[in-house]
Amino acid sequence: MSQQRMQGQPMIILGDDSQRMKDKDAQSHNISAARAVAESVRSTLGPKGMDKMLVDSLGDVTVTNDGVTILTEMDIDNPTAEMIVEVAEAQEDEAGDGTTTAVAIAGELLKNAEDLLEQDIHPTSIIRGFNMASKKAKDEIGEIATSVDPSDEEILKSVAETSMTGKGAELNKDVLVDLVVEAIQAVTIEAEDGSHVPDLEFLKLHTQTGRSVSESDLLTGGIIDKDAVHSDMPSTVDDANVLLLDTPIEVEETETDAQLNLDSPDQLQDFIEQEEERLKEMVQTIADSGANVVFCQKGIDDMAQHYLAKEGILAVRRVKKSDIEFVSEILGARIASDIDSVTSEDVASGSVRRDEDDEMFYVEGEDGHGATLLLRGSTNHVVDELERGINDALDVVASTVADGRVLAGGGATEVELAGRVRDYADSVSGREQLAVEAFADSLELVPRVLAENAGLDSIDTLVDLRAAHENGDEHAGLNVYSGDVVDTFEAGVVEPAHAKEQAVSSASEAANLVMKIDDIIAAGDLSTAGGEEEGAGGPGGAPGGMGGMGGGMGGMM
């Protein structure tokens, strides 16, 4: 396909089986695809949300409640639907939590936009209105957020607990909430200007199966979950001088002749001796550096293992890259890539202790920098879902410590924002006003879905919530267990303000992106709707189908 301009008109030459959709057809096709994806995660929102079982093409099963995980595992083959997946990913990167919220709001914005398009309101007016409303909503978040002391453990625990509710982590939340808050505090530094900065680089989550969740623990330093390469090596080194290597202690083939023509047994003997000599030399260099512990990301030759043991050096091979990097972080050590140039400069001091029960090494630096949250659980499925929940909780607690602002959850913030955005709509003229109102309605999707997922009547709930907010009750939200309208802030259902700001802006950006497209030119057939998302539980009836444009988008103009 090529495009040339003739007298200001674009001329597009299409292949034989390519397809084209324009204006309203294009918009409604895209909106349907994007909405279908957004709607597929709605049923997981909130404490009473359900889980999804995802089965990949190899038959591997993931059971999760985590929005971004569902969307990324869904293997969506449609460029517009992928934009929605990107909302979830952006939310995950920026805030760590609130992915389902962001995606659900994006879907609702598109649904309401579709109604406006049907009333012949031009997409640019809708986009402009959404932008105005999104900005207003973010400003209002600043108004209604409550400032908290970043060292207020009660609030931090509430934030962690809110993000864990409804996840696998909930069952053991007492233990886990404490660990999450402790973990963030362990890596938070107070800057000179008095601000609190949690440094997540210094925190590592390590998972282990076989023990119960309640035996999870927070450890100072890092973990190397491997054995020593030789049984004669020391297992605990209190005064450790640690060398980190990302290169093997082996004789590489390129160092000897790759092809060897041997005429006599003597030559073979020579060759073996040469190789041994070379390995001895490497070990000697390591020993001369003063190292008594070596963590190596690559392999260690049998002969080298023997020499290292003779030198009394503890050596571990095939250590995970991320573990090497974390240990490098906490010891302040560099990672050496060339054994021949290793010196005492490459060695960092600390302690290395063996835990025989867990069969791993605990590594600590001298200044006690860095922490590892050791997350235990009975099986892989349990631990994996736990890990996703804990990651969210760590992010929201870190965000609260850094930003110091929280909001009432359970839909309270969304209803308050909707009311304020609706008031603001009165001051907006033109067709944008309708878009601003539609934006306000879309925010209320959150309490509606929270109610729906809890088996409550969503309309009644919304009516009650609105009434409470009109009475000036800014923190009136839904108690999903009793169905009552309560002060969710008082009840300890609190969320970081930053995550909500991000959810509002990424949702509106995604909706706008989808609406801006008025022309789809596909190299393949647009009408062969694939609908390959069965694994993730029926995306609510999408006309136009999904997956149809897979693989062959010619371009969008």
Catalytic residues: 66, 99-100, 392
Stretch that binds Mg ion, among 156-164, 256-264, 322-330, 447-455 (CB under 5 A): 156-164
Query: Site residues for ligand ADP, window 455-514 (CB under 6 A)?
Result: 478, 480, 493, 495
Minimum Å distance from CB 250 to ligand ADP?
46
Q: At what angle do helices 497-515 and 99-118 cross, to 10 degrees?
A: 40
How far are the Cα atoms of 42, 445, 465, 466, 473 from residue 485, in angstroms, in the given order? Answer: 21, 16, 7, 10, 10
Query: What type of residue sits at position 358?
Result: D
Rg (CA), the chain: 29
Q: Which is nearer to ligand ADP, 296 or 415 (CB)?
A: 415
Stretch that binds Mg ion, among 96-104, 285-293, 322-330, 419-427 (CB under 5 A): 96-104
Instruction: List the one residue from 34, 47, 468, 548 that touches ligand ADP (CB under 6 A).
Output: 47
Stretch that binds Mg ion, among 87-95, 161-169, 183-191, 323-331 (CB under 5 A): 161-169
Cα separation, 129 vs 434, in Å, equals: 8
* Partner that binds at residue 495, options ligand ADP, Mg ion, none, CB closer than 5 to 8 Å by kind: ligand ADP
How far are the Cα atoms of 3, 109, 174, 224 from residue 227, in angstroms, in the given order? Answer: 61, 54, 33, 9
- The CA dihedral of 312, 316, 317, 319, to the nearest 10 degrees, is -150
Q: Which is nearer to ligand ADP, 97 or 432 (CB)?
A: 97
Q: 3-state class of 190 per DSSP?
A: strand
Q: Which is nearer to ligand ADP, 162 or 172 (CB)?
A: 162
**Residue with the CB atom nearest Mg ion in the bound state:** 97
If 0-12 CB within 10 Å is exposed, 13-18 middle and 19+ buried, where does residue 392 land? buried
Find out whether 425 and 137 touch, Cβ atoms under 8 Å: no
Minimum Å distance from CB 97 to ligand ADP?
5
**CB 317: neighbour CB atoms within 10 A?**
22
Minimum Å distance from CB 97 to Mg ion?
4
For residue 528, give the nearest of 177, 9, 19 by alpha carbon: 19
Minimum Å distance from CB 41 to Mg ion?
11
Instruction: List the one residue from 98, 198, 547, 554 that touches ligand ADP (CB under 6 A).
Output: 98
With CB under 6 A, what is the number of residues at the site for ligand ADP? 22
Cα separation, 148 vs 499, in Å, equals: 16
Find out whether 283 and 300 touch, Cβ atoms under 8 Å: no
Cα separation, 309 vs 325, in Å, equals: 24
Instruction: List the one residue from 80, 101, 185, 241 that touches ligand ADP (CB under 6 A).
Output: 101
Stretch that binds Mg ion, among 92-100, 116-124, 360-368, 486-494 (CB under 5 A): 92-100
Query: Site residues for ligand ADP, window 140-179 (CB under 6 A)?
Result: 162, 165-166
Q: Which is nearer to ligand ADP, 359 or 484 (CB)?
A: 484
Minimum Å distance from CB 102 to ligand ADP?
7
446 binds ligand ADP (CB under 6 A): yes
Cα separation, 81 vs 280, in Å, equals: 58
Q: Which is nearer to Mg ion, 78 or 99 (CB)?
A: 99
Cα separation, 468 vs 481, in Å, equals: 19
Q: What DSSP assignment string belongs to 225-285?
A: -S--SSTTS-S-EEEEEEEEESS-BS--GGGS-SS----SHHHHHHHHHHHHHHHHHHHHH
Stretch that binds Mg ion, among 19-27, 158-166, 328-336, 353-361 (CB under 5 A): 158-166
Instruction: List the one residue from 97, 108, 416, 452 that touches Mg ion (CB under 5 A).
Output: 97
Instruction: List the one residue from 123, 221, 365, 409 that touches ligand ADP (CB under 6 A).
Output: 409
Stretch that binds ligand ADP, among 7-15, 91-99, 194-202, 367-375 (CB under 6 A): 91-99
Q: Which is nearer to ligand ADP, 67 or 539 (CB)?
A: 67
* Partner that binds at residue 243, options Mg ion, ligand ADP, none, CB closer than 5 to 8 Å by kind: none
Please, where are the H alpha helices in 355-431?
380-403, 412-425
Token readout for 322 is 């991320």
Give contact residues for ligand ADP (rule: CB under 6 A).
44-47, 49, 67, 97-101, 162, 165-166, 409-410, 446, 450, 478, 480, 493, 495
- Interface residues with Mg ion (CB under 5 A) are 97, 163
